[in-house]
Structure 1
Amino acid sequence: MPSATPRRAFVIWSMAVMVYVAAVFHRTSLGVASLDAADRFGVGPTALGAFTVLQIGLYALMQVPTGLLVDHFGPRRVLTAAAVLMGTGQLLFALAASYPLGLLARAVLGVGDAMTFVSVLRLVAAHFPARRYAALTALTGTLGGVGNLIATVPLALLLGGIGWTITFAVAGAVTVAYAAVVALRLRDVPAGTVVPPVRPALSLRAVLADVGRSWRVPGTRLGFWVHFATMAAPGVLGLLWGFPYLVEQGLSTGAAGSVLSMLVLGLLVGGPLIGVVISRRPDWRMPFVVGYLASTLLTWLVLLGWPGERVPVVVLVVAFGWLSVGGPASSISFALARDYNPLHRVGTASGVVNVGGFVAITASALAVGLLLDLTGSFGIALLSVVGLQVLGFWRTAVWWRRARAAVFAAQERGEDVPVRLRQRRRWDVTAAAA
């Protein structure tokens, strides 16, 4: 199959990544605007949490449909629609003066956001060799951190300066305008590649069968739980509850925004590093995930068990910095989906995997809001995040063993496998029956 020149491939990928950067900005913009939103709409913690629950819940629900849309119509069309929806949602949010209208705006934005990441990954799979997939997936997530970074201190300064309406209206208008660039310049496949005709409309049975085939692959299931476990903490803190928690710890709004930016710094530093390492040593990716998850639970123990009413700022900085590594670690889940699914089903498998983290974020955002209303204590409310991470850790361990068993079985049959593993007797002896 003809392939794009490296330069052309990177140009295509860069244009697509800009949509993802915008998506992360729009997604996380409520983080530093949460207190402003509470005042603007006159709502409490549970109602405020509903913004994130609705937006991220729709994101999670849209992942499998997005994967199918990308495989069916191509990433260019899907990314164009995503940019239009995100810009329209943010424009509506800029003008919303009532809580129901604000919810509608975040819902539209959430649907557009949901259509970005999987589309970018499908472009990477089409324009780059498989050996670069893991590194470029991690780098894509890292560059998304630029959008997150803009949504911390810079956004807080803009909200305090030019105000809510102008800030969000300009962001929305720029995103809608960029949709034209995507529609005109992006290409689904390298030049010279024969593009197959658009597939006929899929029946519900065919759609469910396609999703089912992806879900039955142990590597896909492992990717789902890796994404679930690694995304829970940085997601819920960065999207909504990190800023109010830091203010409750006695930090000024400026200082809270700075500490919150540690979630982005960890992504910017950890993304390229993790991407390069797992590209060169794919057998290290699951040991890293397990080590990270174990250390994350210790981090929560320090934060929530600290003696006294307030955690020292230096501890908050270190803790948020380490929790941020969950973002780049989550990219490992997409490498698993890419390795163990055929190319024509990569979009669907990536969508299935992407559901995991956003189900965890949705559930934890809702639980934190409800527990805050009931107890008024962040220490108690954030235990819900810890509980979800424990669940994700357990299921990750279960499916790691099952995925390893599937790889060993394939090796015994003489089949090619993406990553050859060394069998460890005490861990793998009962893996097939796990």
Structure 2
Amino acid sequence: MPSRSPAAARASARSWLIWLTAAFVYVLAVFHRTSFGVAGLEAADRFQVGATALSTFTVLQLGVYAAMQIPTGVIVDRFGPRAVLTAALVFLGSGQVLLAVADTYALGLIARAVLGVGDAMTFVSVLRLAANHFPARQYMLVTALTGALGFAGNLAATVPLSLLLSGPGWLPTFLVAGLVTVVFVAVVQWRVHDTPTARTTESLPVPARAVGRQVLTAVRVPGTRLGFWTHFSTMFGSNVLVMLWGVPFLVQGQGYSVTTASSLLVVFVVGAMLGGPVLGGFIGRRPEARMPLAITFLAGSAVVWTVLLSWPGRIPLVVLVPAFALLSLGGPLSTVGFALARDYNPLPRVGTATGVVNVGGFAATTVTALAIGVLLEATGGNFRIALLSVLVVLVFGSWRMAVWYLRARAAVFAAQARGEAVPVQLRRRPWDTSLPDWDRVPAVA
């Protein structure tokens, strides 16, 4: 099927530079998002709160993030990624400056909510920019590279941030981070162009009813639903550890030092940074393999979490390192959801569909992070029981993904039978049964 992107058959060096500039905004967003992964204990002391209140910081930020995804997708489709990335930097910088000076729990929550708004605007904007500048065959690779670069922000939010917090301290660390973020607005305005031929997107008035129709149409596409549940299931497990509960689990639950715990979280970053481009390049060449890879990862994740939660006594490093390395691939594999959104939606609706998909993983992270905090309070700090939440959400998400995998395949087979073009040619398998309700649903809508 020919690409529906206006980009040339091969992206220019200028398009790569534009994408790289936008991707750095995502690096900053990930740094701000994951900073509580190592700052959680300092935050608990600064604001004098317990586990449930501490989890509220991440739950609030992620809740705002998830709630903003569909509106962000609609806004990006209408106003263009350049304008939305600029607004994202302003929110991110302002939120981090506010967090730096916050000395009460309420003000800290407000700061994280502002950060959540800015964070919500970044990834969808970068992927919409990639859809504009790159052909379909390169989109998965660029998406994976974006995710890999984002983990550079995650890396900065592990050991380096931990050292800064123990050195200069809370106020200087977060104040400088916020100011640097705001200054980067000038770079985005200078370097980023919405399309290969235009600096900005022409915005036309759109009736509210038309916006609602656009969202509903994107949601009804089986490929979008499959993308949502794939994203939901694959990324939340590593997110929960990296963004909030990894260091407390390793320090308070396993007895490791803060330095060792922060270093172990680097495994997630390195695994994602190395695995992302490799998986993205492979899936870009063989898109039919993307769902089998996601299914295999989920099965492996279930085994890993079962081992971690049933291990008697302290889990040794020789078990934790490979376990975290496997879980780190959840982030790269979650980008399969965005490829599905792009493949099965027309370009003017890709931002909206991408926003729908991006709700999945962060909704799962929000629910799981809150459940862990509540269970820790209820059990007196028993991480073995609290982290069972991860397995429950993993099983639920995998079940829903399997349902929509079969339905999406049925829609594709029906489209092929009607002689319609589909992005990926599929081969029937023994588990592909007739689903009459989906025979009339277009695979690409």
Q: What letter matches 2:175 in structure 1?
A: A
Contact 1:118 1:347 in 2 (8 A): yes
Structure 2 unmatched ranges of 5 or more: 1-5, 439-445
Q: Aligned pair 1:136/2:132, yes or no?
A: no
Contact 1:402 1:432 in 2 (8 A): no
How far does the alpha carbon of each residue in 1:330-366 deviate from its partner, in whole angstroms, 9 at most, with x for none? 0111000000000000000000000000000000010
Query: CA 1:57–1:38 in structure 2 vs 1: closer, same or farther (change >3 Å)?
Result: same
Aligned equivalent of 1:67:
73
Aligned equivalent of 1:99:
105
Q: Aligned pair 1:172/2:162, yes or no?
A: no
Aligned equivalent of 2:443:
none
Aligned equivalent of 1:221:
225
- CA–CA distance in 1 between the matches of 2:126 and 2:135? 15
Alignment of 1:320-331 (within 5 A): 320-331=324-335
Cα offset for 1:6? 1.3
Aligned equivalent of 1:294:
299
- CA–CA distance in 2 between the matches of 1:216 and 1:321? 35
- CA–CA distance in 1 between the matches of 2:200 and 2:113? 34
Q: What letter matches 1:366 in structure 2?
A: L
Aligned equivalent of 1:242:
246
Aligned equivalent of 1:184:
190
- CA–CA distance in 2 between the matches of 1:80 and 1:194? 13
- CA–CA distance in 2 between the matches of 1:251 and 1:392? 31
- CA–CA distance in 2 between the matches of 1:336 and 1:190? 23
- CA–CA distance in 2 between the matches of 1:432 and 1:423? 16
Aligned equivalent of 1:160:
166
Aligned equivalent of 2:416:
411
How far does the alpha carbon of each residue in 1:151-207 deviate from its partner, in whole angstroms, 9 at most, with x for none? 00010011111101000000000000001211232110113x59763120431x222
- CA–CA distance in 2 between the matches of 1:432 and 1:289? 26
How far does the alpha carbon of each residue in 1:239-266 deviate from its partner, in whole angstroms, 9 at most, with x for none? 0001100112011111000111111111
Taking structure 2 as the reference length, what is the TM-score of the superposition?
0.95
- CA–CA distance in 1 between the matches of 2:190 and 2:207? 27
Q: Count the aligned residue pairs.
A: 430
Taking structure 1 as the reference length, what is the TM-score of the superposition?
0.97
Structure 1 unmatched ranges of 5 or more: none
Aligned equivalent of 2:382:
377
Contact 2:376 2:382 in 1 (8 A): yes
Aligned equivalent of 1:110:
116
Cα offset for 1:33? 0.4
Query: CA 1:5–1:331 in structure 2 vs 1: closer, same or farther (change >3 Å)?
Result: closer
Q: What letter matches 2:272 in structure 1?
A: L
- CA–CA distance in 1 between the matches of 2:220 and 2:413? 17
Contact 2:78 2:201 in 1 (8 A): no
Q: What letter matches 1:279 in structure 2?
A: G
Q: What letter matches 1:136 in structure 2?
A: V
Aligned equivalent of 1:261:
266
Aligned equivalent of 1:272:
277
Q: Percent identity?
A: 60
- Residue 205 (structure 2) aligned to one of 192, 200, 203: 200
- Residue 47 (structure 2) aligned to one of 38, 41, 51: 41
Cα offset for 1:432? 4.8
